[in-house]
Every structure is written in structure tokens, then in C-alpha cells.
Structure 1
Amino acid sequence: MSERGIAPDTAAQEPAPEPVTALELAEARIPARYRHALADHPQVTAWADGIARAGRPGPAGAPGIAEGPSLRIVGPTGTGKTHQAYGAIRSLLAAGVRLRWEAVTAADLYARLRPRPGFDSERDLQSLMRCPLLLLDDLGAAKTSEWTEELTYRLINHRYEHLRPTLITSNLTTDALRTALGDRVASRLAQMTEPVTLAGPDRRRTRPTV
């Protein structure tokens, strides 16, 4: 091959693999049920578009989240709140936004941060406080106590003060959240989030007709 002017190592090279997109990488972290979720509610898509436009340019010109508004998606069980929230995250990733994000249900949050030997729960809480985008799912659904109320307040208050975009889903209205989590949390949520109300039957119980 060298006689024909072709370097042996060049001939043996395989094509470079296709680059993996941020959305493809994120899908490993998104629960299987929501891996192809699409946000189609006008307020949710408008929020995602606004976050993408407001991002600060980073490496290679890709926008990254700095500060921005938050969204609180409210409605009865089974109306698609979590679906819309994951759809919003997927929209941002598909738009090329550099995005470090976390998603956790309120019940898992409390279980995850409950003090136990050998685990630095404060460090984990600080990571959630500072994360550029947080999805806090099913807020108000878990059993509450003074400890969970204080933990929720610290998390919400930090994100409120630093204008960190937060996606919140809940079955509860603002008044019901006030009863469940206290005035301090409910007041901040009322100011920092745009409410999106979903309605309709429980999709999990509705079978498609044949």
C-alpha cells in the first residue's frame, strides 16, 4: 500500500463516531416512561423558549442557564404534570442549551437527605440548591414534619434568592401547599413561579378505545 502512496495506518482508520448530543446523554437519566416526553402546553413551551433565549453563551457558543423564571405545574393526579416537566427539559436539551439539571420527587428528596452515618446530606442539599435547573416533582405529596418543612424551605429559599430556574409539579393549590409546607415556602413559590394548571381525567386510568 505504501508503494501506491497510501499510508498503512491511514487506510486502517475507521470513520470517527458521530458526536453524542446532550439530549441523547440525558435520556439515560430520564425515567423510561418520560424518555420521549414532549411539552405541548403553551405556557410550558413558552417557558422553555424563554429560558433558552436568556442563556449566556458558553463554549462553542452554546447557551447556558444562568438565571430565569420558574414554573409550577399544578393539577389533579394523572393530568400529565411530570410529562410536561420532562418535556420542557428535553426541549432545552434539544435546543442545544448547556444544561446541568437534577430531577427528584419530594418523597425521594426527603429520603435521600435524611441524616445517616457516613453520608453528607448537607453537601447533597447544597448541590440541589445550586443546580442550574431543578425539577422537584410531586411537591406536597409526601408526609411532612418540621424537618421536611425546614428542608423544603432552605431549598426553595436559596433558589428563590438566586433566581435559579425550578420546575415544580404538585397536586396542591397554593393554599393547600401553605397548609402542607408552611407560609414561608408557599409565599416564595407564589412569587417565583408562574402557575400552569392542567385539567382532565386521570390518564393512567383511561384506556384507549379500540
Structure 2
Amino acid sequence: MDTEALKAIASYREAFPHITPLITDWSAHEDQGGDSFHAVKETAGILAATDSTIPLRYKHADATDPKVLAWIDEVVWCSTPARISGVRKVGPGPSLLLLGPTGTGKTFQGYGALRRLSVLGVNASPAASPIADIYAKMRPRPGVDSESVFESYAHAPLLFVDDLGAAKESPWVEEVTTRLVNYRYDRGMATIFTSNVPPKQLGEKIGERVASRLTELCRVVVLKGEDRRLQGRAA
């Protein structure tokens, strides 16, 4: 057994003691036909990779909304165990659209969902970014392969796109958004989207076709309440 990997796993799990991992006993996992050596290494890698994806401000984020927790359960149910280690990997499944005014906790819940999946021990290999940063990285300029940037997000097993609809509208922005949503829609790839845009205005802000795809693709959760930022909490 990899002692350093076990220590790393324990440190991540201790920060979220209320989350029960899918593999809690490595010896029992071995007895049930899993490869505990590879399971330990993969689990440590999952936790480290997810941690590197989550910004410092959201390192302690955890999903708490009942509908978000229900979505996580669906993602776990749709995941499949790896042939050797038995560690579960995210596969095709439902997506999540978090809507609500600024500061109601959408980003907190989104990063919390990524964290919870990692503590559970599900290999999501997530990518995460505000939509404005995706546009900025893709914007054509010398030395930048825009298509490779697009593919890095489009191909991610689990993608978190924050603040959809926040960027200034243009035909190019609409094209990128449509391509990204359609790519993941056509393949049933699990994606988390957040947006400050009111549900009834989503179509006019990001395009009716994209909004329709999102409605079909996603479990829609509307968050309400006071601005968490004004109360000193991450949002």
C-alpha cells in the first residue's frame, strides 16, 4: 500500500468528515475483487487533481442544496467502475444548471459538487472556468490554437462553466457558446453551468436554441436569498 497516498487521502477526507466515501475500507475493497493498490493511487490522484482545479476562495466549498445533492447522486449512479481498481468514473449523465441573482451561492455549490465527488472517490477529471475566461483563452491571436483550447473544455469528462451569459454579446461569443453546449448535449456529457440571468431572459441572452438545449440537458436549480458576499461568505 502507498503510505504517502493514504496520508493524502486521509487529509482530504478529514476536511469533509460528513461525506462517506464510496470506498471506506481498502482491505474490504480487495476482498470484493477490487485492486486496493491501484484504488489508493487513483483516489489520491482524483483528490489532488480536483483540488488543483478549485480556486483558493472555494477550497472549502461543499454542495449543500438538496437538489444539487440529488444531482450528485445521479452522477454517481451513472458512473462506472474502472476494470482494475474498481474506482468509479464519471460517464454520460445529467447536467446541472444553477440560476439565481449575484451572491446566492451558485459558484459555491458548483465547486462544492466537484469537491464532494472527489471526496466520494469518483474520478471526474474536471475542468472548470468562468465562461469569460474560456472566451478569452479562445480568442484568435498569434501563437494560440483556439481549437485546442475549445477541445480541452469540450472533452472534459465533467465541466464546470461559471457565469454563463455574463460576457458581452457578439456573434463570435454566441458561436462558441453554441458549439460548447451542443458538443456536450449531443454526447450527454455531465456539465455544471451557473448563470445570473433570470430564467425567462436566458433565451434572449444566450440564444433560444442554446437555452432550449440547456433546459433539456440540465437539472435546473434556482437559488434564492441574500447576497452571501455581503455577509462575508463565498458565492
Decide: shared fold, TM above 0.5. Answer: yes
Which residue does 2:122 correspond to in 1? 97
CA deviation vs aligned residue, 1:74-103 (integer Å, no higher than 9, x gap): 011000000000111111111111121100
Written as runs of structure 1 = structure 2, the 5 A alignment for 1:76-115 is: 76-115=101-140
1:120 aligns with 2:145: yes
Identify, as 1 or 2, the structure richer in helix: 2
- Alignment partner for residue 87 of structure 2, among 16, 38, 62? 62
SS across alignment from 1:60 = coil
Which residue does 1:9 correspond to in 2? none
Written as runs of structure 1 = structure 2, the 5 A alignment for 1:47-196 is: 47-58=71-82, 59-196=84-221
1:23 aligns with 2:10: no
In structure 2, C-alpha distance between the alignment counterparts of 1:103 and 1:16, rounded to whole Å: 30
In structure 1, C-alpha distance between the alignment counterparts of 2:232 and 2:182, rounded to whole Å: 41
**RMSD of aligned residue pairs (Cα, Å):** 1.6
- Counting matched residue pairs gives 194
User: Could you tell me how far 1:173 is from its partner in structure 2?
Assistant: 2.8
- TM-score (norm: length of structure 1): 0.87
- TM-score (norm: length of structure 2): 0.78
User: Could you tell me how far 1:16 is from its partner in structure 2?
Assistant: 4.4
- Structure exhibiting the larger radius of gyration computed from Cα positions: 1
User: Could you tell me how far 1:207 is from its partner in structure 2?
Assistant: 5.4
Aligned-partner residue type, residue 43 of structure 1: K
SS across alignment from 1:28 = helix
Aligned-partner residue type, residue 71 of structure 2: W
- Runs of 4+ displaced beyond 6 Å: none
In structure 2, C-alpha distance between the alignment counterparts of 1:189 and 1:112, rounded to whole Å: 23
User: Could you tell me how far 1:28 is from its partner in structure 2?
Assistant: 2.7
User: Could you tell me how far 1:106 is from its partner in structure 2?
Assistant: 1.1
In structure 1, C-alpha distance between the alignment counterparts of 2:64 and 2:90, rounded to whole Å: 21
1:198 aligns with 2:223: yes
Which residue does 2:13 correspond to in 1? none
In structure 2, stretches of 5+ residues that fail to align are: 9-43
1:88/1:207 CA distance change after superposition, 3 Å: closer
SS across alignment from 1:73 = strand
SS across alignment from 1:205 = helix
1:207/1:63 CA distance change after superposition, 3 Å: closer
In structure 2, C-alpha distance between the alignment counterparts of 1:64 and 1:177, rounded to whole Å: 32
In structure 1, stretches of 5+ residues that fail to align are: 1-14
